[in-house]
Amino acid sequence: MICVDTNIFLIDKIGRAHILKKYFFKKGISGEKKIEQGVKLTSSWLNSKEVWMKRFVFFIFPVIPLILLSSSSLAREKGISETVFSPSQECGNCHKNIYQAWSNSMHAQAISDPVFKLDYLHALNEYGEKVREYCLTCHSPTTRYTGDTYLKNRISREGINCDFCHSIYAVDLENPKDPFKVNPGSTQYGPYQNASSPAHLSTYSELHTRSEFCAGCHQLKNNFGVLVLGTYSEWKEGPYPEQKVHCQNCHMPKVPGMPIVDPKVKKSELNMTAHEFLGGHSEINLQHAATLRTKFEVKKSKALVTVFVTNAESGHKLPTGTPVRKVILSVKLLDDKGKKIAEKEKVYQKVLLDQKGDVLTESYKMILEASSILSDNRIAPKETRQENFEFDLPPGIKPFSVESTLRYQYPTPVLTAGLMEVEMAKQVVSLPLGKIFLIGFFSWLRVFIILLFLFLILWMGYRMLKRRFL
Ligand code: HEC
Ligand code: HEC
Ligand code: HEC
Ligand code: HEC
Ligand code: HEC
C-alpha cells in the first residue's frame, strides 16, 4: 500500500499507486524510501509541496476510479504484485532485452536443464522427499517462501527468476541455510541510485554489485561440513577482492548502448548488464580462462617438456562449480610429420569421497554424501602451475614438436557422448632450430660416414681391378 498522508491510503495495489505517483506527483516517492512489507509507507515523503499535494489529492479523489479504469490497464498488464513474486515475463514487458538474455541463462533453466533434472530425479529416488525442499532452495529459490516444492506454479518452474534476485536486500553468510533476506512485492532492488519506474519502487542496493550477493547460492557446505561448492570462497581467497573485481564484473558486464528498459516505457540513460550469466557452458568464456606456455628440449634419450598453465581470467579456481568438472592438460610428442609418438596427461579436479571411502562422481551424491576431500589440485585465480613431463625416447625415434592442450571436461549423462568437452587452450612448440640441426647433423653424419665407407670400398675395389688388368 502507498499512503499519501500518514492515514490516507489512496490505493491498495502498489502498482497502481505507483502509476499515480508517476503521473500525478512526478517526483513523489524516491527510490531510497522503503515500503514496509506492503503495510504502509514509513517515511513522510510529502515534502515542501505537501499541502499543495494534499489538496490536489483530495481534489482528484472522486475522479480516481475513472482514471484508474483508463490508466490501470498498464499496471494490470504489467501485473507487478504487492506481496508475492511476479512472473519474469511481466518484468519482460518493459525490460525486454534483459528478459531475453535471462531466458537463455542457466539461471532460467535451473529447474528445466536436463542435467539438473536427471540428477534431481536420481536424488529423489534414492533419498526420498526430504531432498525436494533442499535442492530447490537454490534451484527454485522462490519455493523457500511459497512452499511450492511440487513446482505447481509457473513461477517455481522459472528457476532463479527476476523478482527473486531483485527482492533480495541482504545476504547473511553466517546463516548459510537461509542466507537471503527478501522483500517480495513492489520494491525492486538494483544497482542504480537514480532509477525510477512507473511499475515499481526502485531501491539502490550496493549488495547487487558485490560477490556476496551470489554467495548465497554459489557456496555449499553439506551436512558433513564438506565444501562441495566453493566458488565464492575461492574468489575471496584470490587476488580479485582486493582489486574490487566481483563476480558481476566478469559474469555481468555492462552492455554498452543497451538501455535497461524499453525506450517506449522510458527513455533511460542507464545501461543494462548482461543477464546471460555465462560460465562453463560458454565456449568463449572457457577459451579465455587459461593460458599455456610450453618449453621443449631433448636430452640424450629423453624428451623433456615443461608446461606453465595459468588461470588467467577465471575469478575462482579452475575448474569451479560442482566437482564433476575436470580440466585436463595433455602433452603430445609429435614427429616431423605431425604423427603422435607419445602422450601424457595431468588432470585438475577436486575429488570427494563418501563415508565408505568411495570416490563420488555425481553432483547429487557429492552434495548429499561427500564426507571428505581426497584431493584438490585445481588452479587458483592468477596462479601459474609448472608441470614437467619426461618421455623416454626409444632408439631411432626422433621427436620434432610437442603439442600441449588444455581441455575442459564435463561428464553429462544426458548427452549421447556422455561428455562435454571444450578445448580451452593449445600450443605447438617445435624443438629449437639449433637442436633440430644438431639431431639432423648427427643423422647426416651417420649417412656421411656410411657413404664414405662405401666410397672407400668402391675406390679400393677399383684400384685393385685396375692394378690386375692394366
Ligand atoms: C511498466 C514497466 C516496468 C515493469 C513491468 C518493470 N519495470 Fe523495472 N524498471 C522500469 C523502469 C522505467 C525503470 C527505471 C529506468 C530508469 O530510471 O532509467 C526500472 C528499473 C528497474 C531496476 C533498476 C533499479 C535500480 O535501482 O537499480 C530493476 C532492478 C528493475 N527495474 C527490475 C524489475 C523487475 C524484477 C521487474 C518484474 C518484477 C520489473 N522491473 C518490472 C520499468 C518497469
Ligand atoms: C538463488 C541462487 C543463485 C543466486 C543468487 C545466483 N546463482 Fe548462479 N546459479 C545458480 C544455480 C542453481 C545454477 C545452476 C543452474 C543449472 O545449471 O541447473 C547457477 C548457474 C550459474 C552460472 C552458470 C554456470 C555454467 O555452468 O554455465 C553462472 C556463471 C552463475 N550462476 C553466476 C552467478 C552470479 C555471477 C551470481 C551473482 C550475481 C549468481 N550466479 C547468483 C544459483 C544462483
Ligand atoms: C541471479 C540473480 C539475478 C536474476 C535472475 C536477474 N537479475 Fe537483474 N540484476 C542482478 C544483479 C546482480 C544486477 C546488478 C549488476 C551490476 O550492476 O553489477 C542486476 C541488474 C538489473 C537491472 C539494472 C540494469 C542492469 O542491467 O544492470 C535491471 C533492470 C534488472 N537487473 C532486471 C532484471 C530482470 C527484468 C530480470 C529477469 C528477466 C533479472 N534482472 C534477472 C541479478 C539478477
Ligand atoms: C575475473 C573474472 C571472473 C570473476 C571475478 C568470477 N568469474 Fe566465474 N568464471 C569466469 C570464467 C572465465 C569462467 C569459465 C572458466 C571456468 O569454468 O572457470 C567462469 C566460470 C564460472 C562458473 C561456471 C563453472 C563451470 O565450470 O561451469 C560459475 C558457476 C561461476 N563462474 C560463478 C562465479 C561466481 C559466483 C563468482 C563470484 C564469487 C565468479 N564466478 C567470479 C570468470 C570470473
Ligand atoms: C546452496 C545452493 C544449492 C543447493 C542446495 C543445491 N544446488 Fe545444485 N547447484 C548450485 C549452483 C550454484 C550450481 C551452479 C554451479 C555449477 O554449475 O556447478 C548448481 C549446479 C547443479 C548441477 C549442475 C547443473 C548443470 O547444468 O551443470 C546439478 C546437476 C545440481 N546442481 C544438482 C543439485 C541437486 C540434485 C541438489 C539437491 C540434492 C542441489 N543441486 C542442491 C547450488 C545449489
Query: Domain 283-431: which CATH class?
Result: mainly beta
Residue 396: per-residue pLDDT: 81
pLDDT more than 90, % of the chain: 62
Quick one: DSSP state of residue 85?
P
R_g of the chain computed on alpha carbons: 33
Ligand 2 atom 40, closest CA: 214
Mean pLDDT by 10 residues, the chain (470 residues): 26 25 25 28 32 46 44 42 82 95 94 93 94 96 93 94 97 94 93 92 96 97 96 97 95 91 92 86 76 91 94 95 95 91 96 97 96 97 97 85 94 74 89 64 77 93 87
Ligand 4 geometric centre to CA of 251 (Å): 7
AA identity, residue 48: S
Predicted local distance difference test score (pLDDT) of residue 46: 29
Q: Is 305 in the pocket of ligand 2 (CB under 6 A)?
A: no
What pLDDT, on a 0 to 100 scale, did the predictor assign at position 69?
40
Mutate to test the pocket of ligand 3, among 104, 162, 163 (most ligand atoms within 8 A of CB): 162
Strand 254-259 to 271-273 pairing = antiparallel
Which residue carries 639431431 as its cell?
439
* CB 168 near ligand 2, within 6 Å: no
In whole angstroms, give the CA distance from residue 294 to residue 403: 8
Return the amino acid letter for 265. V
Q: How far apart are CA 328 and CA 3, in angstroms?
A: 61
Residue whose CA lies nearest to ligand 3 atom number 1: 165
Measured distance CA(322)–CA(65) in Å, rounded: 54
Q: Whose CA is nearest to atom 18 of ligand 5?
A: 321
Single-letter amino acid code for the residue at 94: C
Q: Looking at ligand 4, which residue's alpha carbon is closest to its atom 9?
A: 314
The b/e string for 110-136 (b: 16+ C-beta within 10 A; e otherwise) is bbebebbebbbebbeeebeeebbebbb
Indicate the top mutation candidate among 231, 243, 248, 252 to test ligand 4's pocket, ranked by most ligand atoms within 8 A of CB: 231
User: Please, are residues 85 and 155 in contact by the beta-carbon 8 Å criterion?
Assistant: yes
**What is the per-residue pLDDT for 281?**
63
Contact 428, 402 (CB under 8 A): yes
Complete DSSP assignment for 292-349: EEEEEEEETTEEEEEEEEEE-S-SSSBS-SSTT-EEEEEEEEE-TTS-EEEEEEEEE-
> 16 φ, ψ to 5°?
-65, -45
Q: At what angle do helices 114-127 and 130-139 cross, to 10 degrees?
A: 160
- Specify the residue with its C-alpha closest to ligand 5, atom 41: 135
Whether 35 and 23 have beta carbons less than 8 Å apart is answered as no
Domain coordinates of the chain in residue numbers? Answer: 2-78, 88-273, 283-431, 432-470
Instruction: Write the CB contacts of 400 (distance below 8 Å, at least 6 apart in sequence).
Output: 334, 335, 336, 430, 431, 436
Q: From the centroid of its chain, how far is CA 72?
A: 39
* Enclosing H/E stretch for 273: strand 271-273
C-beta of 425 in contact with ligand 1 (< 6 A): no
| HSE, side-chain direction, 13 A CA sphere, residue 278 | 16
C-alpha 349: how far from chain center: 17
Residue 170: Cβ-neighbour burial (10 angstroms; 0-12, 13-18, 19+):
middle
Q: Give the residue among 97, 106, 396, 427 at the shortest CA–CA distance from 259.
A: 97
In the prediction, which pLDDT does 435 show?
Answer: 63
Q: Which residues pair with 271 in a beta bridge?
A: 259
Neighbours of 354 (CB within 10 A): 16
Side chain identity, residue 470: L
Q: What is the pLDDT of residue 436?
A: 61
Q: In this predicted structure, what is the pLDDT of residue 300?
A: 81
* pTM to 2 decimal places: 0.83
Q: Could you say which ligand is closest to the alpha carbon of residue 323?
A: 5
**Spacing of C-alpha 416 from chain mean position:** 24
- Compute the distance between CA of residue 407 and CA of residue 286 in angstroms, rounded to an integer: 9
| Under 8 Å between Cβ of 354 and 372 | no
